[in-house]
Chain A
Amino acid sequence: MIFMLCLVCVMLVPLAPAGLSLVHQGLGRSRSSAHAMLSTLCVLAVTAIAFVLFGFSWAGVPGGAAHTLLVHGARWNWIGAEAFFAHGLRFDGSNGSLVLCLQMFTVGLAAIIPVSAGMDRWRLAPICASSLFLAAIAYPLFAHWVWGGGWLGQLGANFGIGAGFVDCGGSSVIHVVGGLAALSVAWILGPRDGKYTDDGTPTAIPGHNIVLVMAGCLLALVGWMGLNCAGSLLFYNLEPAQLVRVLINTMLSASGACLVAVAITQLRYGKPDASISANGWVGGLVAGSAGCAFVSPFAALLTGLVAGTLVTYLVEIFEMRLYVDDPGGAISVHAGAGIWGLLAVGIMGHIGAATHAGQLLAQVIGVTTLLGCMLPLVHGGNVLLSRVMRYRVDASGDWQGMDVRELGAGAYPEFVVHSDEFVPR
């Protein structure tokens, strides 16, 4: 029964990258939308192949083969040691086969996050190369530490720190890792042409299809529910009856974040901002994932409210203060809200006999690992790749659009903008 339940949950997970890709595509320019969608498909394909062939070996499964170090009497589990090419994995309902299936989709979800930050200027070949690096090296390493029986997940057992680092739905493994990769890509690519004026004032480049963005949010909700349930069942041995709490918490977190984003933009700009509210929704899903099985519904709502507020202001700080051009708001939504969600587990979570102080310390150690190890690793990898292959499209490609430049045809060939449509009547 649990196998079937897990399988159904895993089968819902691809809706999360589907929804996110619509969000990203809708928030970009129309002249790069086909390129954005093709990039997403290529990323999902590259990461699935790379993860099954290599990544899964290092990501490992809880209780599976791993390379360990014995330091001061404590066993440090650093990296998985499963066979390459999923060799020897039994496809008979084993936990390992379900973990492989789930992570084949989640690694793609992590890798499409940087595509959003590099939209309208990141070429297809480096997108695939960067995704390959993420899926084969960076993601499996951190996934093993948290979900594969690695040292972060074992902080409680080995060092008596809370119940170890906890992340049910992948706030850290998927979203913060992806969000940090997005930050690295945005740094390397620089802003789009015309994004900033000569005096440094940012220009608004609105998304071309906000309806697709909203539809993407709804699709993502279904995918997230599957992801949170599958993660809780597979990595934290949650009882099936407890899944109701996971579903309620997921919805409440997204709801709180979206509504607070609507309220803040209404107060600040006089009208609700649809794109920021959509980002708030996704930010709530991201933040709520970490502790969806271990917090009360009220705590999930609170997590969402803070995440929505954080996303609303972070988007503005990155764009206006730090000159980071992130068309889809991926850094704020995935890295910013993700880190908050991880800390919220320590503040509001109830995990076995772990104290709040101990659990918060475990979560902080996880966050410092993300910033201190994963960010240099991902950024170093992207910088090296950018020296080997040109990341950014040339100047003419910027105004021509990625569709025509890289694919040879636009996404909307019959879509003509008439200048008189913008004349006030």
Chain B
Amino acid sequence: MVSAGGQNQFSKTEEFSIDLGNLLAWISGRLREGDSLRMLGCLLLLSGWIIVLAALVLLSSYGERVAFVAAGAAVEVLGLALLILRYREPKESNI
């Protein structure tokens, strides 16, 4: 991890940058393990639901609501597919 101030930084800043590096290493470790895609799947599910809620609040005509609810459902299907694939893959490699 290279700190933004270059080499003329105080030691306190260097300590901070090292800690941040550890955090990033931990996060990247999580990313490699495929947790990020599972989390993305869950976030897509949640996003689809929020689109559906937004349709209820912001729109009034039946046709517009149907379109938004269909879009939200499509986003949820994407998220579910991602979750299913991520949970399916390790099983294939383990078996």
Binding site for B on A (CB under 8 A): 71-72, 74, 155, 159, 161, 187, 190-191, 196-198, 200, 322-324, 357-358, 361, 364-365, 367-369, 371-373, 375-376, 379-380
Q: Using Cβ atoms and an 8 Å threshold, which residues of chain B touch A380?
A: 42
Are the CB atoms of B94 and A190 closer together than 8 Å? yes
Q: Using Cβ atoms and an 8 Å threshold, which residues of chain A touch B76?
A: 368, 371-372
- Specify the chain A residue showing the minimal Cβ separation from B48: A372
Interface residues of B in 27-70 (CB under 8 A from A): 42-43, 45-50, 52, 56-58, 62, 65-66, 69
Q: Using Cβ atoms and an 8 Å threshold, which residues of chain A touch B69?
A: 361, 364-365, 368
Are the CB atoms of B88 and A368 closer together than 8 Å? no
Q: Using Cβ atoms and an 8 Å threshold, which residues of chain A touch B94?
A: 190
Q: How many angstroms from the CA of A191 to the CA of B90 in the assembled complex?
A: 11
Q: Using Cβ atoms and an 8 Å threshold, which residues of chain B touch A197?
A: 95
Q: Using Cβ atoms and an 8 Å threshold, which residues of chain B touch A371?
A: 45, 48-49, 76, 80
Q: Using Cβ atoms and an 8 Å threshold, which residues of chain A touch B48?
A: 368, 371-372
Q: How many angstroms from the CA of A373 to the CA of B62 in the assembled complex?
A: 23
Are the CB atoms of B56 and A159 closer together than 8 Å? yes
Are the CB atoms of A365 and B56 closer together than 8 Å? yes
- Specify the chain A residue showing the minimal Cβ separation from B75: A372
Q: Using Cβ atoms and an 8 Å threshold, which residues of chain B touch A376?
A: 42-43, 45-46
Q: How many angstroms from the CA of A59 to the CA of B40 in the assembled complex?
A: 29
Separation in Å of the B88 CB from the closest CB of chain A? 5
Of the candidates B47, B49, B66, B92, the one having the most CB atoms from chain A within 10 angstroms of its own CB is B49
For B62, give its contact among A191, A361, A375 (CB under 8 Å).
Answer: A361
Are the CB atoms of B56 and A373 closer together than 8 Å? no
Q: Is the C-beta of B87 less than 8 angstroms from some C-beta in chain A? A: yes
Q: How many angstroms from the CA of A53 to the CA of B87 in the assembled complex?
A: 35
Q: Using Cβ atoms and an 8 Å threshold, which residues of chain A touch B84?
A: 322
For A200, give its contact among B42, B66, B72, B95 (CB under 8 Å).
Answer: B95
Q: Using Cβ atoms and an 8 Å threshold, which residues of chain B touch A358?
A: 62
Are the CB atoms of B92 and A372 closer together than 8 Å? no
Are the CB atoms of A323 and B52 closer together than 8 Å? no
Q: Using Cβ atoms and an 8 Å threshold, which residues of chain B touch A191?
A: 91, 95
Task: Assess A364 versus B73: contact at CB under 8 Å? Given A197-B95, A200-B92, A323-B95.
Answer: yes
